Amino acid sequence: MKHISIFLISLLMGLATAQADNLLPYIEQPIKAGNLLTFSDQGVSFKLCDSCNVIRLRPDTQVEYRENGEVISFQQATELYVTKGYEDVSVFYTRSSLIYDRVSFGDVESINPHTIQQAQ
């Protein structure tokens, strides 16, 4: 009985892990600036940790670049990448296709304060 229980728990854990990727098909991936390896109009590559594998992403047809929540140009984003202007960078991408559509330097706003003010 004990062996059957361990087998079933192992099976369920395996299924839960496999399903976790399906729960979040589009993610915000926070990255330390030092782990953002390449940044160009052809794509980005980064590591989640020093010993982790490199993740390479391709850009969507339209990519939005932000600095502390404000939209900036690709040229400004490139300057931030080169100067390592921010410790924190976030890349928003679809896991299945490895295509990103937004790169954010600095703080990422979850809620737009202008929307809140307009609603009041």
81, with CB counted inside 10 A (0-12, 13-18, 19+), is buried
Q: Is the pLDDT of residue 108 over 70?
A: yes
Selection from 28, 34, 39 nearest residue 79 by Cα: 39
Higher-scoring residue by pLDDT: 111, 77: 77
pTM over 0.75: no
Which residue ranges make up each domain of the chain?
25-109
Chain mean position to CA 97: 13
Q: Specify the DSSP element, H or E, that contains 23.
A: helix 2-23
Q: Is the pLDDT of residue 6 over 80?
A: no
CB distance 55 to 45 below 8 Å: yes
Q: Is the pLDDT of residue 119 over 50?
A: no
Min mean pLDDT across 1-5, 21-25, 36-40, 47-51 is at: 1-5
Q: Is the pLDDT of residue 7 over 70?
A: no
Report the alpha-carbon distance of residue 114 to residue 116 in Å, rounded: 5
| CATH number of the structural domain 25-109 | 2.40.50
